[in-house]
Amino acid sequence: MNAYEKIGIGDVHVFGSHTFTAESIKRFARKYDPQVFHVEEVGAGETSFGRLCASGWHTASAMMRLLVNHFEAEEAKARAAGEPLLVSGPSPGFDDLRWPNPVYPDDTVTFTARIVGKRISKSRPGWGLLSMTTTGVKQTGETVFMVTTHAFVETGAAV
């Protein structure tokens, strides 16, 4: 079986955890999302969030970093074992992104992904589209992030 064929629906990938410091929350938000509840503690206290919380795009971006690290490590393992490598292409987008609870300073979020779909691309011969639902859960057990992303991967089959 090649790398594409080996991917199973339901396969789980634990990406790891990230802790959001107040400083990192404010640094990201000053550049990309300077709403009061993302940039200053006092002002945030007067909003419905009640306190400083991370921009949802900061949470998403932190997930991406752990995703990249995880799949790089998987690739290194496959290479070391002499197994076929999965070649991935760009992502056309995502669906159902949710921010059900805020991420506050010093929250630690653990991101875990599950493969939910895999199909041969009609528009790109030799490529498939892989869909993955990634969830971020913080130390309290509350879900803070969820998304179903799609990405092109080589099928390895000469179509």
Of 11, 32, 43, 159, which one interacts with other proteins (CB under 8 A)?
A: 32
Is 45 among the residues that bind other proteins (CB under 8 A)?
no
**Which span sits near other proteins by CB under 8 A: 7-15, 78-86, 94-102, 107-115?**
94-102
Indicate the residue type of 114: R
Is residue 61 a contact point for other proteins (CB under 8 A)?
A: yes
Does residue 21 belong to the site contacting other proteins (CB under 8 A)? no
Take residue 94 and report the two structure tokens written for it: 């995502």
Q: Residues 2, 16, 17, 33: which binds other proteins (CB under 8 A)?
A: 33
106 makes contact with other proteins (CB under 8 A) = no
**Of 1 and 158, which CB lies nearer to other proteins in the complex structure?**
158
Q: How many residues bind other proteins (CB under 8 A)?
A: 35
Beta bridge partners of 49: none
DSSP string of 9-68, one letter each residue: TT-EEEEEEEE--HHHHHHHHHHH---HHHH-HHHHHTSTT-S----HHHHHHHHHHHHH
Is the Cβ of residue 13 or residue 124 nearer to other proteins in the bound state?
124
Amino acid type, 24:
S
Query: Taking Cα atoms as reference points, which of 88, 36, 13, 28 lies closest to residue 60?
Result: 28
